[in-house]
A and B are shown apart, each in its own frame.
Chain A
Amino acid sequence: MEVTGGWYMALGAVLFSIGAAGLLLRRNALVMFMSIELMLNAVNLSFVAAGNELGSLDGQLAVLFVMVVAAAEVTVGLAIIVMVFRRRATASVDELSGMGG
């Protein structure tokens, strides 16, 4: 029995689904943000596995770019969460319904 790329992609699909469910289920903005990071990691795993199957390095380079964008996103997103917490003293997205109905 050999571990093929499909195993890694299936695992990536499982992790992506768990992350999506967490994004829908949780209220805490920080945990929702961490769920997004989990989904990004799952996609990275698929990139690397596909690149290895195809014998190409481009999958790994795509992962590097995803990491850079995720780092920028984490920086700005966490700053926004801290600012919202300073103004409203909450990190729950249910409380932050000012722009909704």
Chain B
Amino acid sequence: MIEVIVFAIFAVAAVAGAVTLVASRNSVHSAVGLLVTMFSMAVFYVLNGAHFVAVVQVLIYAGAVMTLFLFVIMLIGVDRSEEREERIPFQRPLVMVLGSGLLVLILLAGRAVWVIRGGRSGVAVGTIEEISDRLFGTWMLPFESTVLLLTIAAVGTVALARYGGRSRHAEFSGGDDDEPEAGD
């Protein structure tokens, strides 16, 4: 019974955060909405026995990723208001219809295949020992691949920061832009 109450509270919080993310005009409000949703996710992970994943969720998503998002929002400017006029007519009602249709389709498809077993067995508690046993055993090769992926991402980000903004300096120093910009 207590699980139902906790689920209800944090489900409402998660959906409210998601709606805030989509509906808010201010980017910072959107980021805070996503933060609320991510904390609620961590609670759901704990309820499902995924303790280590919950810790990682709070550390990586609510901590690192959201800090990065807020940092970039501050860098780009929070006071820029997004213009709301639509270029495609009927875009907003169309999105509502498509989103609702997607939800109905997922729920209909899920009803057929969702594993509803009723009670919890409690055998799959994701402690650090259990997770690391699987991670460094069965999942060793995918784990090594993520190391490669993260290295490539870091190198790519550094390369973007080094060479991506070159034309800006060229514009500021006199305007001989060696890379023609598409579209202008």
| Structural contact, B135 and A75, CB atoms closer than 8 A | no
- For chain A residues 13-64, which have a beta carbon within 8 Å of chain B? 13-22, 24-28, 30-31, 33-35, 37-38, 41, 44-45, 48-61, 63-64
Shortest CB-to-CB span from B133 to chain A, Å, is: 9
Return B145 CB to nearest CB of chain A, in Å.
9
A71 and B4 form a contact (CB under 8 A) = no
In the bound assembly, the distance between CA atoms of A79 and B102 in angstroms comes to 31
Is the beta-carbon distance between A64 and B118 smaller than 8 angstroms? no
Check A26–B37 contact: CB distance below 8 A. Answer: no
Interface size range on B against A: 35 or more
Residue of B nearest to A25 (CB): B95
Complex interface residues of chain B between 131 and 166 (CB less than 8 A to chain A)? 131, 134-135, 139, 142, 146, 149-150, 152-154, 156-157, 160-161, 164-165
**Closest beta carbon of chain B to A51's beta carbon, Å:** 6
B44 touches A48 (CB 8 A): yes
Main secondary structure of the interface of A (DSSP, over half): helix
Would B130 and A68 count as touching, CB distance under 8 A?
A: no
A7 to B11 CA separation, bound complex (whole angstroms): 10
- Distance of B162 from chain A, by nearest CB (Å): 11
Pick the residue among A18, A51, A60, A81 that contacts B52 (CB under 8 A).
Answer: A60
Contacts of B64 in A (CB 8 A): 71
Residues of A within 8 A of B (CB): 1-11, 13-22, 24-28, 30-31, 33-35, 37-38, 41, 44-45, 48-61, 63-65, 67-76, 78-83, 85-87, 91-92, 94, 97-99
Question: Measuring CB to CB, which residues of chain B are less than 8 angstroms from any residue of chain A?
Answer: 1, 3-4, 7, 11, 14-15, 18-19, 21-22, 27, 30-31, 34, 37-38, 41, 44-45, 47-50, 52-53, 56-57, 60-61, 64-65, 68-69, 72-73, 75-76, 80, 82-83, 87, 91-92, 95-96, 98-100, 102-103, 106-107, 110, 114-121, 123-124, 126, 130-131, 134-135, 139, 142, 146, 149-150, 152-154, 156-157, 160-161, 164-165, 167-168, 181-184
